[in-house]
């Protein structure tokens, strides 16, 4: 059974000087989530933004804030992200103690996501899957926007989608990296229902028009 398909524009590709305006635009055109990439320069070779930006964003939008923590020590910062107003907190399976971080997220009343890098097998998620609200499959090496989707990650999404269906688990399946209008159908066909897109939306001079084009594709599946 297919789930409602949701779009999660990634602000990594936004113009940070016009962030509020750009967020309002994607919200107006039908995006439901807002994907926020948090990088520590250690877990990934890049630095981005953190809780203060999420607090500011929280004040200007009703969108579900989907925080993607690319942090070596996520557990240390879970409370900061809860306080800042994140709705979904995604941590990486490749970090020290994902189980403890998931517990802290759930104890704070937020939705927990577990993320796997392209080289991490689907099985890494299974021990935690019953507690998760979302599984995030990276389709590029985390750290930078504007990369090409790695096709093997679609097979991994399919494996996870089948596992979720077979075990009757109530979790979303999200994919992040290299998703554009030209390949989003393949991502949906792999069983993904939350679509992250950075360059495809904020790399477009008209982010709202880009969101509309994604929404038209989503509607063609007859679920939304």
User: Does the annotation mark 133 as catalytic?
Assistant: no
The answer to whether 143 contacts ligand DX5 (rule: CB under 6 A) is: yes
Asked if 146 interacts with ligand DX5 (CB under 6 A), we say yes
Could you give the string, one character per residue 31-50, with x where binding to Zn ion holds by CB under 5 A and - elsewhere? Answer: ------x-------------
Round to whole Å and give the CA distance between 145 and 140.
9
Q: Give CA–CA dist 38/19, Å, rounded.
A: 16
State yes or no: is 172 an active-site residue.
Answer: no
Tell me the C-alpha distance between 214 and 30, whole Å.
Answer: 9
Indicate whether 174 belongs to the interface with Zn ion (CB under 5 A): no
Q: By C-beta, is 90 or 171 nearer to ligand DX5?
A: 90
Q: Is residue 55 a contact point for ligand DX5 (CB under 6 A)?
A: no
- Beta strands 172-176 and 33-39, pairing class: unpaired
Question: 32 near 26, Cβ under 8 Å?
Answer: no
Q: Work out whether 117 is an interface residue with Zn ion (CB under 5 A).
A: no
- Give the tokens for residue 120: 């991490």
Alpha-carbon gap, residue 87 to 100, rounded angstroms: 18
Q: Is 199 in the site for ligand DX5 (CB under 6 A)?
A: yes
# residues contacting ligand DX5 (CB under 6 A): 22
> From the candidates 66, 162, 176, 216, which is the catalytic residue?
176
Catalytic residue numbers read 37, 176
């Amino acid at each position: 059974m297919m789930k409602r398909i949701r779009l999660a524009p990634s602000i990594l590709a936004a113009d940070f000087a016009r962030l509020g305006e750009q967020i309002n635009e994607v919200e107006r055109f039908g995006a439901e989530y807002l994907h926020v990439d948090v990088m520590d320069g250690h877990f990934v070779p890049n630095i981005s933004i953190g809780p203060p930006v999420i607090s500011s964003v929280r004040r200007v939008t009703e969108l579900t804030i989907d925080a993607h923590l690319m942090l070596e020590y996520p557990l240390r910062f879970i409370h900061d992200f809860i306080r800042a107003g994140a709705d979904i907190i995604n941590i990486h399976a490749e970090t020290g103690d994902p189980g403890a971080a998931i517990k802290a997220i759930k104890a704070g009343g937020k939705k927990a996501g577990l993320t796997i890098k392209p080289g991490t097998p689907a099985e890494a998620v299974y021990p935690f899957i019953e507690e998760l609200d979302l599984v995030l499959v990276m389709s590029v090496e985390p750290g930078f926007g504007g990369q090409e989707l790695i096709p093997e990650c679609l097979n991994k999404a399919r494996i996870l989608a089948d596992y979720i269906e077979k075990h009757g688990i109530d979790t979303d399946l999200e994919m992040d990296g290299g998703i554009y209008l030209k390949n989003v159908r393949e991502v949906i066909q792999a069983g993904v229902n939350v679509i992250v897109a950075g360059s495809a939306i904020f790399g477009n001079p008209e982010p709202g028009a880009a969101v509309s084009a994604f929404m038209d594709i989503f509607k063609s599946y007859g679920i939304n």
